A = this chain, B = another copy of it.
Amino acid sequence: MQLSELSRESGLPIPTIKYYLREGLLEPGDAPDSGRAEYSESHVRRLRLIRALAQVGDLPLSTIARILEAIDDDSVPLHHALGVAHYALAQRGGMSAGSVELAQARVEVDAFLDDLGWTIDADAPDRDELASALETLRCLGWKVDAKVFMRYARAADKLAKRELSQNPGDLDRERAVENAVVGTVVFESALTALRRLAQEHHSAARFPT
């Protein structure tokens, strides 16, 4: 198909596609210098993936580029490719400057995750994300320790276990990584939206106007 059809199929404007081509997020089509480059279904698929990560995941292009690289590089093991996406998502917020309180919270979060028996890289940035959440609560006067997250950890564990078990074993590597990344990003957005909606529902019952 030509560029105009690629635009229709992917739902992205032609200038955006051209930008992705220039930035190397999208492979050139066949005969790119002829002015009538030919694109395939794999181009459509890739553009839809970029759109999902950018719109639903709210990820910057530089992060998306790193995720796509991990998907495309066959030498990167599946587990590690998913890790690249996780780390990109964790680092969206940016970390606060280190403090004694934050370092203390991090020690407690590490012990909490150990107690859960989870196998997690020592450098996983989500450890800091969780420590930052704990430190923030305390800073606001909440008298809590890491166990305040127990109910959330249990819910997350149940959901993640199910998510990972659903990836059918007969998918090719690229499709499997893609599914895992999409699942992480899109269901994260769905889960947070549903939690806010559920809060609205329960808040209406608790604080009638």
Contact = CB atoms under 8 A, between A and B. Distances in A.
B167 A159 contact: no
Interface string A162-203: 111101000000000010101010111111111111111111
A103 interface: no
Interface string A19-60: 000000000000000000000000001001101100110100
B83 A130 contact: no
B139 A11 contact: yes
A68 to B, nearest CB: 14
* Residue with the greatest number of chain B CB neighbours at <10 A, chosen from A77, A120, A164: A164
B198 A118 contact: yes
A173 B77 CA distance: 52
A119 to B, nearest CB: 5
B195 A136 contact: no
* Residue with the greatest number of chain B CB neighbours at <10 A, chosen from A160, A162, A209: A160
Which 9 residue pairs are nearest across A and B when measured between Cβ atoms? A160-B198, A118-B201, A156-B194, A129-B193, A164-B202, A156-B195, A126-B193, A79-B207, A133-B190
Interface of A: 11, 45, 48-49, 51-52, 55-56, 58, 77-80, 82-83, 86, 89-90, 92-94, 96, 99, 113, 118-121, 124, 126-127, 129-130, 132-134, 136-137, 139-142, 149, 151-153, 155-165, 167, 178, 180, 182, 184, 186-209
